[in-house]
Amino acid sequence: MERDTNFVLGIYDDEDVLKEAVTKVRDSGVKIHEVFSPYPVHGLEDVLGYRRSRLPIAAFLFGLCGTCLALTMQILMMAVDWPMIIGGKDHAAIPDFIPVTFELTVLLAAFGMVGVFMISSDLKPWAQPRIFDKRSTDDKHVMAIDIAVNAGHEENKIKELLQASGASEVNNKSFE
Amino acid sequence: MQVTSSVREPLVTGGKTYKDVTHDVSRQVEGKPTIGWMLGLAVSIGVLLLGSIAVGATVWEGIGMWGLNKTVGWAWDITNFVWWVGIGHAGTLISAVLLLFRQKWRTSINRAAEAMTIFAVICAAMFPVLHMGRPWLGAYWALPLPNVFGSLWVNFNSPLLWDVFAISTYFSVSLVFWYIGLIPDFATIRDRATGLRKVIYGALSFGWTGAAKIWMRYEAVSLILAGLATPLVLSVHTIVSFDFATSVIPGWHTTIFPPYFVAGAIFSGFAMVLTLMLITRKLFKLEDYITMVHIELMNIVIIITGSIVGIAYITEFFIAWYSGVEAEQYAFINRAFGPYWWAYWSMMTCNVISPQLFWFKKIRTSIVFTFALSIVVNIGMWFERFVIIVTSLHRDYLPSSWAMFYPTWADVGVYLFTFGLFFTLFLLFAKFFPVINMAEVKSVLKSSSEKVNK
């Protein structure tokens, strides 16, 4: 359960203004809770200081599992459990096993990575997300600042900072 | 703020703002269905029901209902299967390959093209499943499960089994790619909705908030899925071509098949995307998003792939002559001048000559010509598969077993069924799902529109 919290929201109309604003706010020592956008803003993760996603590593590892699973399965079934000569080929006819191995590698890499993405981002059909401002899925960028986390900064100062950084609106939002 | 490029045409016209994109795309999801849409759905469901009589008869009586015989063991079923799988290729090509190549023009058409892929693969899967004769056992036979009558496994040396893995992987990865792309747009619709619609789109949006951290991961996922799907597109039709190429039938046993099939698939897929896009943009008034630039670029892809297919046809003839194999040479002479000459020349006219018309700018920027030629290409590609399959089988090494194939009403009916199914699913998608990827269009709006309002 998330705690009761009060937020100050800076609403921005333009992605370039937003990126500059994020830099300004972070430079002033105010901690940003999160920024919400209707579309992916390239470069925003850098100014927010986020670490690169490790999902490619997850994809690689799941893909590797797919390769091993496919080769093991085919060799066990074709060469160990019920060996038959087909077209005069070896029991473990590796070139014949490449198509299925490739497909299972892709399948496991894709599903594994997407699964990790869903879990790590808490995306599920029954999720009840906190919506800071509905316009953040339409046409506005929303910067949310948690007042409790920034106890060292006065709320009014934070609002002034957001206004000065180019926010078209500055609002308050509380969640119970 | 005015953002215009002097070197390229805008991808979104009409001076759209971010809010306009949301409004224009959500309009048909939120509004009442139009008369055109209802009429289209009624016709599609009608065709589906009509075709289901043939599907029912096939399941009840067996595939003796079809025109297949001992010589032509595969005909309409596999022709239709390969044709539908081919159509499915453009969707993943547009969404994955063009994403990797940073082609921004894909953003307006990728959603509908991906949906087309999913529905086309469903239609394709109908044919091998029905061809199994007892489809309720089909899944059991095709999966690597131990046989209860003895520990006999599926044959991993067979291209038909590779097909099972290829098609099911292609379908499921495409489905995931499509759905991941839909999540942010479902959230947009959720945030505009009330009542039951809010609950439904709330569940479909998986709790998406548009947080920067999640967008970052989302972009990583999209890029890797694109990287995985790109070789997948090539592998699927390559493997489909192995069904033929690994056999020893004259006309099938050729190394040119994998690239030739892939080019043909993209050729027919783009033609179907054009057919659907031209209808969709008119029906839902999306002319500012699916512009003449998009249509022209797709037509250029059709020229390229059509020309590759044309070269492949000529190469096949050359190799048949150059190989010195009598049976191979006869197979190709029989294709052009045998009893199925009409199918061969239909294929040549539709696939080799018609796309070359797109070299003329006037034709490739004409809606009427594009629509007509997109249908011509799809007819041609159907004939291509028919020619490869039926003409190669009906006269092989043994003249004593030569025979003709004539389709029955059940053959035609099952094909009609898949048409009904495809268009029913596509129309339902177009009404209830955002047909254009709003988030992606918004992300290219600033650099690619006529004007973006601050």
* A82 vs B420: which has the higher pLDDT: B420
> For residue B103, what pLDDT band results from cuts at 50, 70 and 90?
confident
B421: its two tokens: 């199914």
Closest alpha carbon to B239 in A98, A141, A161, A40: A98
Taking the C-alpha atoms of residue A49 and residue A36, their distance in angstroms, rounded to an integer, is 15
Query: What's the confidence (pLDDT) of residue B65?
Result: 92
Query: What's the confidence (pLDDT) of residue A118?
Result: 94
Buried b (16+ CB within 10 A) or exposed e, B78-103: bbbbbbbbbbbbbbbbbbbbbbeeee
B120 with B272: CB under 8 angstroms?
yes
Nearest CA in chain A to B437: A39
* Residue B452 pLDDT exceeds 70: no
Q: Is B144 close to A123, i.e. CB distance below 8 A?
A: no
Amino acid letter, residue B25: V
Distance from B269 to chain A by nearest Cα, in Å?
22
Distance from A168 to chain B by nearest Cα, in Å?
11
Task: Establish if B30 touches chain A: CB-CB under 8 angstroms.
Answer: no
Domains along chain B with CATH numbers: 18-143+154-452 (1.20.1630.10)
Predicted TM-score (pTM) of the model is 0.92
Q: Which tens digits make up the pLDDT trace of B298-331?
A: 999 999 999 999 999 999 999 999 999 999 999 9
Task: Establish if B409 touches chain A: CB-CB under 8 angstroms.
Answer: no
Amino acid letter, residue B161: L
Q: Which tens digits make up the pLDDT trace of B118-130?
A: 999 999 999 998 9
**Average of pLDDT values for B47-73?**
92
Write down how long chain A is.
176
Task: Establish if A2 touches chain B: CB-CB under 8 angstroms.
Answer: no
Q: Tokens 């031209």 map to which residue?
A: B278
User: In chain A, positions 6-45, which contact chain B (CB-CB < 8 Å)?
Assistant: 13-15, 34-41, 44-45
Q: Which residues of A touch B204 (CB under 8 A)?
A: 125
B187: CB partners within 8 A, 6+ apart: A137, B201, B205, B208, B209, B210
A109: its two tokens: 């890499």
Domains along chain A with CATH numbers: 6-52+134-174 (3.30.70), 54-121 (no CATH)
Q: Are strands A34-36 and A169-175 parallel, antiparallel or unpaired?
A: unpaired
Q: Is A37 close to B210, i.e. CB distance below 8 A?
A: yes
